[in-house]
């Protein structure tokens, strides 16, 4: 997944087009999968409050951080957009934890993710499924 380019701080803002969401399967079956995405919130949408999927029992938004020499993770209740109205969840930072992913889901397939913002209708995007090693077989 290519990262979002930063906004041009000049008079005209130039923002990148976000990459498609992806879900990385867990190394150990039955453990949570991880989700990453870049989405444009849209002016007036407010913060991202949750993500759901008909193929997942529960999805939590989490944030990774360093505490001394240890990496820790904590749930977050909302994710705000940057100056380009973009919200990015990427390895090593904010990410989704997908608990109870349908066991029939395999690398190379897609599942629907539903993004719920403070304002407006939910947005639905297809997320491609990758193996634990990052490959879509």
CATH at residue 103: 2.60.40.1890
> 64-115: per-residue pLDDT in tens?
987 888 888 999 999 999 888 899 999 989 999 999 999 999 999 999 999 9
Q: Smallest Cα–Cα separation from 10: which of 83, 96, 94? A: 83
Alpha-carbon Rg for the chain, nearest whole angstrom, is: 15
Residue 137 lies in a domain: no
- Tokens 């957009």 identify what position? 81
Specify the DSSP class assigned to residue 132: T
The tally of domains found in the chain comes to: 1
pLDDT at 13: 53
> 1-49: per-residue pLDDT in tens?
444 444 544 444 556 666 789 999 999 988 999 999 999 888 889 999 9
Residue 20 lies in a domain: no
State the pTM of this model. 0.84
Residue 85 lies in a domain: yes
Residue 25 lies in a domain: no
Domain span holding position 47:
32-130
b/e burial code for range 98-122 (CB count within 10 A of at least 16 → b): beebeeebebebbbebebebeeeee
Residue 113 lies in a domain: yes
Residue 12 lies in a domain: no
Question: Other C-beta atoms within 10 Å of 91: how many?
Answer: 12
d(Cα 82, Cα 133) in Å, to the nearest integer?
A: 30
pLDDT at 43: 82
- Tokens 């997320």 identify what position? 127
d(Cα 100, Cα 83) in Å, to the nearest integer?
A: 34
Residue 24 lies in a domain: no
Residue 65 lies in a domain: yes
Q: Smallest Cα–Cα separation from 1: which of 102, 115, 95, 111? A: 95
């Amino acid at each position: 997944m290519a990262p979002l380019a930063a906004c041009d701080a000049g008079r005209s803002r130039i923002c990148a087009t976000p990459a498609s969401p992806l879900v990385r399967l867990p190394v150990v079956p039955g453990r949570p999968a991880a989700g990453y995405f870049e989405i444009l919130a849209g002016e007036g949408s407010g913060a991202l409050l949750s993500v759901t999927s008909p193929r997942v029992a529960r999805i939590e938004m989490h944030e990774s951080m360093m505490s001394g020499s240890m990496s820790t993770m904590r749930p977050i209740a909302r994710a705000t957009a940057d100056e380009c109205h973009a919200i990015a969840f990427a390895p090593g930072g904010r990410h989704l934890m997908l608990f109870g992913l349908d066991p029939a889901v395999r690398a190379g397939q897609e599942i629907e993710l539903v993004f719920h913002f403070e304002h407006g209708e939910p947005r639905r995007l297809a997320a491609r499924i990758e193996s634990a090693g990052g490959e879509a077989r």
